[in-house]
Amino acid sequence: MIIRTFETPDETAAAVAQRVVRALAEKPALVVGLPTGQTPIATYAELRRRHAAGEVDFARATTFNLDEFAGIPPSHPGSFRMFMERHLFQGINLAPARTHFLDGTAPDLDVECERYEAAIGAAGGIDLLLAGIGANGHIGFNEPGDTLSARTHRVALAASTRRHNAALFGGDPADVPREALSMGIGTMLKAGAIVLVATGAHKAACIERAVHGPVTTRLPASFLQLHRHVELYLDAAAASRLGPR
Ligand code: GLP
């Protein structure tokens, strides 16, 4: 794993944005995997700023979001589609037809997961996958457990994950859907390159385990050790248990 550390969350976000800008300059028809959560908000703001400055063009890019809540229509303010509209898509020139999401209201969610796998394949696979990490070590919505699904699948959300996402649903964890759809670990590991971003002291323990611990379904991010091109972008707090720089 390539580990890049920065003093602050803002410096980390600027570096991740620069990584995306560079990838798009090298390959304008880039296929990108996108996360939600608090961590990427600053990166997305920086990408909007750089697009407004004429420094990055998304016209030929394609995106696939990592996950979506089950039972939530795309237009719901808590949906990850709306999150992406607010934080990134409204400020850049991505073609709406090339922004892809799992549909949590599809009549058959298993069929929907297979549709998504096929759509990723039809796009030629993901070139650059950006990911965050939950404090319990989840990536996408692949929660810790006895087993992990390799392919895009339905997941039951951990109580801690539902609490963490409560703000999207008015603040009450009880209003957060119990289920979601997520790319599988295998889907993610097929990406050409993976950029994992983490900031804050509350991520330090799971980053240490993801980098140095055993590969285990108890910490889904540990599976990134199996990929040959993973870059970690960390602020000093998230990197604080990795040893001296
Ligand atoms: C969410 C998302 C993940 C994200 C994680 C961390 O539940 N499904 O894709 O990486 O939690 O979120 P945050 O960046 O807010 O810590």
pLDDT tens track for 15-65: 999 999 999 999 999 999 999 999 999 999 999 999 999 999 999 999 999
184 lines ligand 1 (CB under 6 A): no
| Residue 143 annotated in active site | yes
Residue 228 lies in a domain: yes
Closest Cα to atom 9 of ligand 1: 140
CA distance 242 to 238: 9
Contact between 237 and 200 (Cβ < 8 Å): yes
Whether the predicted pLDDT of 245 surpasses 70:
no
The CATH number assigned to the domain holding 16 equals 3.40.50.1360
Residue 195 lies in a domain: yes
- Sheet of strand 179-182, all strands in order from the earlier edge strand to the far edge: 67-69, 179-182, 153-156
**Encoded tokens for 155:** 């997941």
CA distance 150 to 8: 34
pLDDT at residue 244, as a whole number: 62
Range of the domain at 165: 2-235
Residue 79 lies in a domain: yes
Instruction: Give me the mean pLDDT over the 235-242 stretch.
Output: 98
pLDDT at residue 243, as a whole number: 75
Instruction: Give me the mean pLDDT over the 75-94 stretch.
Output: 97
Residue 129, beta-bridge partner list: 33, 194
CA distance 141 to 146: 15
List pLDDT tens digits, range 124-156.
999 999 999 999 999 999 999 999 999 999 999
Whether the predicted pLDDT of 166 surpasses 80:
yes
Instruction: Give me the mean pLDDT over the 230-243 stretch.
Output: 96
Coil, strand, or helix at residue 1?
coil
List pLDDT tens digits, range 197-223.
999 999 999 999 999 999 999 999 999
Q: Tell me the average pLDDT of the chain.
A: 97
Q: How many domains in the chain?
A: 1
**Ligand 1 pocket test, candidate residues 36, 153, 168, most atoms within 8 A of CB:** 36
How far is residue 78 from each of residues 69, 131, 202, measured CA to CA in Å?
Answer: 9, 19, 24
Residue 243 lies in a domain: no
Q: Which among 67, 68, 112, 127 is annotated as catalytic? A: 67
CA distance 51 to 54: 5
CA distance 37 to 80: 9
Residue 47 lies in a domain: yes
Q: Both ends of the chain: CA-CA distance in Å? A: 15
Residue 55 lies in a domain: yes
Residue 116 lies in a domain: yes
| Residue 136 annotated in active site | yes
Amino acid, res. 87: H
pLDDT at residue 93, as a whole number: 98
